[in-house]
Amino acid sequence: ANTRKTINSMLKQMLISQYLSNINFTTYTSFMIYKTIYYVRGFLQIQNENEQTPKLIRTTINNVLQEKLIPLPPNPNEIPEHIQEILPFTLPITQRSYTRATVNALRKIFRFDKLTDNYFAKLPTLPERYQDLLPELQTYFPITNRQSLQYLSYFRRKLADHYTFTAIPSSYFQLPPPKQPLPTTYQELNYKVRGLFLFNSSTSKIPLAKAVV
């Protein structure tokens, strides 16, 4: 029985060795590597020492991958030409909405915490008048109804692709004045809406409690 178990174990190890040798780990993300190791451990019936084992494996994978990365140069012009040629974008970044995609791509090759200002193209300041915006942006302004405010973050992203600013100028908004609060008494209602309320407590002989019923 022990001999059969030993042979079975050796056969599994041989199959796993062939399986791993055919994988190009340089194209794998840390998650894909972890899933591969998870499969291998299951196939070889390797038990976790404790509940922290999976976390330890993921941490080890991330540390190894980080050590293989090269430090990101402080200036994009210092990135070697052969690397720039394989990047799916140009540097410096001209449209801020592409920042996340750019960072994700650079992290495949370089090690860094965040991009420095040198990696972003210098953009003009946002005009004070929306009429001076680029033609393709003028369609969003001025904002004239409050329903459009739900898209404000989208408008900001569109502006940030072409200009630098901290806040959208007030001149970009032409919203109607806020509605007045509802009066606490019937007598304070506008005459245009009083007719909607047939019950007048000051003239009616019927108590309010009965009128409501």
Q: Is the confidence at residue 137, as pLDDT, over 90?
A: yes
CB 16 within 8 A of CB 39: no
% of the chain surpassing 90 pLDDT: 32
Question: Left if phi > 0, otherwise alpha if psi is -120 to 50, otherwise beta: which for 45?
Answer: left
Collapsing DSSP to helix, strand or coil, 146 comes out as helix
What is residue 81's predicted lDDT score, i.e. its pLDDT?
A: 85
In Å, what is the CA distance from 110 to each residue of 19, 40, 60, 79, 194?
29, 29, 18, 10, 70
* Mean per-residue pLDDT over the chain, rounded: 83
Residue-wise pLDDT for 9-50, tens only, equals: 788 888 878 877 787 766 677 777 778 887 888 888 888 777
List pLDDT tens digits, range 93-135: 888 888 888 888 888 888 898 999 999 999 999 999 999 999 9
HSE-CB for 62 with a 13 A CA cutoff: 7
DSSP secondary structure string, 39-84?
Answer: HHHHHTTPPPSSTTHHHHHHHHHHHHHHHHSEEPPSSGGGS-HHHH
Provide mean pLDDT across the span 188-199: 72
> For residue 59, which amino acid is it?
T
Does this model's pTM top 0.85? My answer is: no
End-to-end CA distance of the chain: 87
Q: Provide the residue ranges of all domains of the chain, joining segments of one domain with +.
A: 2-68, 71-119, 130-172, 180-213
Q: Quote the CA–CA distance of 134 and 162 in Å, as a whole number.
A: 9
